[in-house]
Structure 1
C-alpha cells in the first residue's frame, strides 16, 4: 500500500544534549534541534499486523496539520521547523478517521463496552500514552513519560490502513445521523484538532463563564476550532486576530463574533473598543509567533480592566516569549501551556458536541489524494489561502 513518509538526517546542533527520554540517532523531544534536510516521499508499505488489543482501520479521511507542514519545512540551515517529539523515518498523518476492518479479541469499543465490530467508524487520539507512568496515573496522559505520537514517532495515517491500539480509538457512530455516511468521516478527521483546541481553552485555561470575552490569536485550524468551542461555551465576544480575509470569514462561520486584521488595525485597541475597555478573560496564542504577538497580548492585559486573564499557549515555537513580568503581576494574569488533547474526556465531549450540531466541516477547504500530499505540504509553507486540506483518496 502507498504511504507518505518523511525522512531526515540526525545531525544535532552544537547546543543539543541528549535527553533522558531521547534515543540517539532515532528519537528526540527537540526535533528542530536535531533533524536536518527533511524529505517527503511516497513509499510502499506492507499492510499492518494487529495484536489482540488492536484494531486495523481503513482510513477514510486524514487532514494535513501545521505540524506536518513544519516537519517537512527546513530553516536556512536545513533543520526542520517542528520543535517536538519526532522519530524518522515515519509515515505522517494523525488527524484521521476511518472504519474498523479487523479487530483483536480484546479490542473493546468504548461506545458499547463490547469488542469492536467490523465497520465501526472511528477516530483516534494522536498521543499514545502508557497509562502506568506517574503523569498518566496523575491524570495527565498528554505528558506521558513513555509517550509515542502517531505520525510523529510511529507510522501514521497518510496511507490506506493503520494499526491503532483500541484504547486510543473513539467511535463516531453518533455522528452518522447528522452528517450522513460520507460527511461523517470528514467530521471525524476534525475531532483531533478540535480536541487540541478544547484541551487548551477548557481544560488548561480553565474554561470560561457565559458572558466572558475571549481573544484568539491566529485563524489556523486550532484557532478556528477554539472559536466554535468558546462560542458554544457561552462567550459574549469571541474575537479572532487573523490577517487572512478568507480565514477570518471562516472564523465567523464557526463562532467568532468579531475579527481583527492585526496587519491593518491596532489589534489591542480594537479589542478594548469591542469589549468596552474590559479586554479578555481568556487569550489563546495559536500563531506560533510569540515575538510578534506577545507585545499586543500584554497591551490587552495591561490596558484592559479585566483581572485574572489567562493566556493559553497552544502553538509550538522555538522562539522565546518576550515576557514582562510586571504586567502579569499587577494584572493578576496567568500563563498556561497546553500540549495535546488526551484525558479528562476531551475526545468524547468534542464528538458529543459535534453530534449536537457543532459542525467543524467548513474548515475543510480542499480534498486531495495521497500523491498530492507532498506538494500541498510545500504549498502550505507560504500560502495560507486553504485552511484544512484533507486526504480522501488513498489508492
Structure 2
C-alpha cells in the first residue's frame, strides 16, 4: 500500500510502499477514503523541537480520516465490512484510574494515532475496534474526516453554556474557525475573532463571526471593550498557543468569566494570577482531545443536522501523493483545512 512515512530523525516525509497492516483478534482493517492534515503533521514533517521530543521514527503519520471497514478480527462485534468509520485518536487502555473515572482522553497509558501508532496517511489502517466511530451516512466524506478536530472545538466552546454570551476567539486556524460556527449554533450573542492572518479572518466571517480583528493593526483589548460597552467578554476561547494572545485574552475577559484553552505553547507561560485570575474570579479550562465518546455524538449531530456547515473551512483537497502541497499551504497560512483524497 501507499503510505506517507516519517522515516528518519530529520525534516521531511516520504511516500513509500508498505505492507498492509495485520489484524489481531480485536482489530479492524480500514480502507482509508479521505484523511486531513493537522498542524501536528506539519510539526512532524518539519521536525520541530516538539516532534523531536515526542515522535520516534519510522512511523506512518496522520490521525484524521474517514474510511470503510474491509475486514474484522475474529472477536470484533461492533462493526462489519462495508461500514464507514472514523476513530478517536487517543487509544486508551481502559483500565487506569483516569479511564475508570470517565477521563479516557487523559489515559496515562494512552497511545496517539499517527504518533505512537501507525496513522491514516495510508491506503489501509488497522485499529482496535474500541476506538472506532460509525459515521452518520448523512455526513459527506470531507466532513467526516474533520470530526476529530471539530470535536476539539466542541469541547472548547461547550466547557460551559455559551448561549447569549459574548465570546473572543483567539486563533483562526481550522479548529478556531470550527469554534466560530459552533458558538454561533449554540447561541452566542457576539463573536469576535482575533488572528494575524487576513485570509483566515475572511473565513471567520463566513463561519459567522460578528467582528474579526488582526492584532498586527488592531488593539484587541480596545476592540473588545468597545464592542462590549466596556465590560469585556464573557468567554475567551484560546486556540493560538501564543503567549501574547493569551495575555490579551485574560485582560479582555470580564470578571466572573471563563477561558477555555486548547492552544499548545512552545515554552512555559507567565500569568499574573492575582490580577487576571484570582481577583477576577475567572474559571480556566484546559482542553485536550475530546470526551470519549460523548463529544463524538455532539459533533455528529452538529454536522448531520446542518447546525454547523464546516464547508468554508475546508479550502483545499489534494491526492495523497500531493501531501506536501497541503503541508506548504499550512506553513504559508493560505488555507483552512486541507483534505487528502487517499482512495479514488
Q: Same fold (TM over 0.5)?
A: yes
Residue 394 of structure 1 deviates from its aligned partner by 4.5
TM-score by length of 2: 0.93
Say if 2:198 is the partner of 1:245: yes
Distance 1:288 1:131 in 2: 30
1:187 corresponds to which of 139, 143, 148? 143
Say if 2:109 is the partner of 1:142: no
- For residues 138-175 of structure 1, the C-alpha deviation after alignment (integer angstroms, 9 at most, x for no partner) is 11111111110111111101011101112111111x34
Say if 2:17 is the partner of 1:68: no
In the alignment, is the contact (CA less than 8 A) between 1:73 and 1:378 conserved in 2?
A: no
Distance 1:132 1:309 in 2: 36
Residue 209 of structure 1 deviates from its aligned partner by 3.8
Residue 231 of structure 1 deviates from its aligned partner by 1.5
- For residues 201-257 of structure 1, the C-alpha deviation after alignment (integer angstroms, 9 at most, x for no partner) is 32xxx3224101111101101101111222111111121112222211212222322
Say if 2:285 is the partner of 1:336: yes
Residue 327 of structure 1 deviates from its aligned partner by 1.9
Say if 2:252 is the partner of 1:300: yes
Q: Which residue of 1 aligns with 2:239?
A: 286
Closer, same or farther: CA 394–38 of 1 in aligned 2, 3 Å: farther
1:261 corresponds to which of 197, 208, 214? 214
Aligned CA-pair RMSD: 1.9
In the alignment, is the contact (CA less than 8 A) between 2:170 and 2:249 conserved in 1?
A: no
SS of the residue corresponding to residue 153 of structure 1 reads: coil
Distance 1:136 1:295 in 2: 33
Distance 2:291 2:45 in 1: 25
Q: Which residue of 1 aligns with 2:276?
A: 327
Q: How many residues are treated as equivalent by the alignment?
A: 342
Q: Which residue of 2 aligns with 1:49?
A: 22
Closer, same or farther: CA 344–52 of 1 in aligned 2, 3 Å: closer
1:363 corresponds to which of 310, 313, 326? 313
Distance 1:268 1:175 in 2: 43
Say if 2:262 is the partner of 1:314: yes
Distance 2:336 2:113 in 1: 22
Q: Which residue of 2 aligns with 1:386?
A: 335
Distance 1:170 1:296 in 2: 38
Distance 2:141 2:162 in 1: 32
Give 5+ residue unaligned stretches, structure 1.
10-36, 110-115
